[in-house]
Amino acid sequence: MAKLWRLHLRPKCKDPKDVVRYCLRERILGLGWRGPAQAKGMRGEEYMEEHRKHWGKVVYAVREFMKVKKNHLIWARDEEGGYLLGRVKSMPHPRWDCNAKKYDMCHVVSAHIVGGRSGSEAIRDNEVPGLIKARFSQPRSPAFQSINDDHARDYSCWLFAKKTGADYVPPRPEECFINLLDSYDLEDLVVLYLQQDLNWRVVLSSHAPNTPRYEVTLVRQSLSAGVQVKHKGQDINASLYKDDAQVDQVFLFAASGNYGNNIPKNVTIIHPDELIEFARQNLSLLPKSIKYWWDCSLEAGD
């Protein structure tokens, strides 16, 4: 089964444009941390031990990169911020030639790479799952890391197949729809649901800068409500909202499904099935960026 990874392809010590163009031209993906000359010809744990001695530590990104196998998928970004998706075609291996040093490509795999912002295999920003986008914006994250999410993996397999003309049938939307939305689309979906199905109305001036505790404040008749939404990987401690003096009622949605053990009486948990059913019944109401994630799975399943 394909495994999914995220790679920072733009080393700070090199010109990002030169590095990306070199990788696309040579059809490789990789990273730096050049190994010692005496490690030439070594493989596996023997190589990693020499690499550790050379750097005085285990370099996490290199250790993880050397776990990559054929047919794994790697997300990266080009010098303009466009998204790249590569399917690995070789086992990872160290390099010591002049280009390895010049472009800081000292550990590489060969790959079939699609994406960027132009051409027949371009990947638009709205085609990239929210979880993938989030992994590129994490502060102080390693240059290379795994993405352990079945929905993002299955969608990435389908997207690569779509761009290259291969066949791949992903899960139906009900299985992955919520988890593929980015944080902004997820917030919009929750607020649309509360307005359309539960008859709440948004107070525009109450957006996050004025009420940091909530995404937005809503009103209905003489009542007020606050909404908090968390993307996958983030939990919400519902007990923190007990008897909140700012609003009469609190709506919470965490894609992780984790809210702690105590749910106060003034807190209502929104369940994924409610949002999925709302989307199914109100496709014409959904913004294009949200509807895409519904339609792409339907399209692939035809």
Name the percent of the chain lying above pLDDT 70. 92
Residue 230 in any domain: the answer is yes
Q: Does 246 lie in the same domain as 102?
A: no
DSSP class per residue in 195-241: HHTT--EEEGGGSTTT-TTSSEEEEETTEEEEEEEE-TT----GGGG
For residues 189 and 278, membership in a common domain is answered with yes
The 10s digit of each residue's pLDDT in 62-75 is 999 999 999 999 99
Domain range for 23: 4-168
User: What's the CATH code of the domain at 70?
Assistant: 3.10.590
Residue 91 belongs to a domain: yes
In a domain, 173, yes or no: no
Examine residue 105 and state whether it is found in any structural domain, yes or no: yes
Instruction: Give the pLDDT of residue 283.
Output: 93
| Residue 103 within a domain | yes
For residue 225, the one-letter residue type is A
Specify the pLDDT at position 175.
58
Domain match, 132 and 199 both: no
Report the predicted TM-score, pTM, of the whole model to 2 decimal places: 0.79
Residue 144 lies in a domain: yes
Q: Provide long-range contacts, Cβ within 8 A and 24+ apart, for 252-261.
A: 252/227, 252/228, 253/186, 253/190, 253/227, 253/228, 253/229, 254/229, 254/230, 255/178, 255/179, 255/186, 255/230, 255/231, 256/230, 256/232, 259/235, 260/235, 260/236
Q: Which of 38, 274, 27, 4 minimizes the C-alpha distance to 160?
A: 4
In a domain, 175, yes or no: no
The alpha carbon dihedral of 147, 149, 154, 158 has a sign of negative
Q: Is the pLDDT of residue 120 over 90?
A: no
Residues 112 and 227 in one domain: no
Q: How far apart are CA 250 and CA 267, in angstroms?
A: 5
Q: Are 126 and 242 in the same domain?
A: no
User: Which domain-ending residue is among 168, 203, 235?
Assistant: 168
Shared domain check, 222 and 256: yes
Confidence of residue 124 (pLDDT cuts 50, 70, 90): very high
Same domain, 16 and 160: yes
Residue 212 lies in a domain: yes
Q: Which residue has the higher pLDDT, 302 or 220?
A: 220
Predicted local distance difference test score (pLDDT) of residue 297: 54
Both 31 and 155 in one domain: the answer is yes
Final residue of a structural domain among 116, 139, 168: 168
User: Using an 8 Å Cβ cutoff, are 31 and 144 in contact?
Assistant: yes
Q: Domain total for the chain?
A: 2
Same domain, 105 and 203: no
131 in the same domain as 39 = yes
Question: 221 and 137, same structural domain?
Answer: no
State the greatest distance between any 2 C-alpha atoms of the chain, in Å, as a whole number: 75
**Same domain, residue pair 151 and 10:** yes
- Domain termination residue (choose one: 121, 137, 168): 168
Mean pLDDT rounded to a whole number for the chain: 89
- The stretches of the chain forming alpha helices (DSSP H) are 16-26, 44-55, 60-65, 98-102, 130-136, 150-164, 173-180, 183-196, 272-281, 288-301
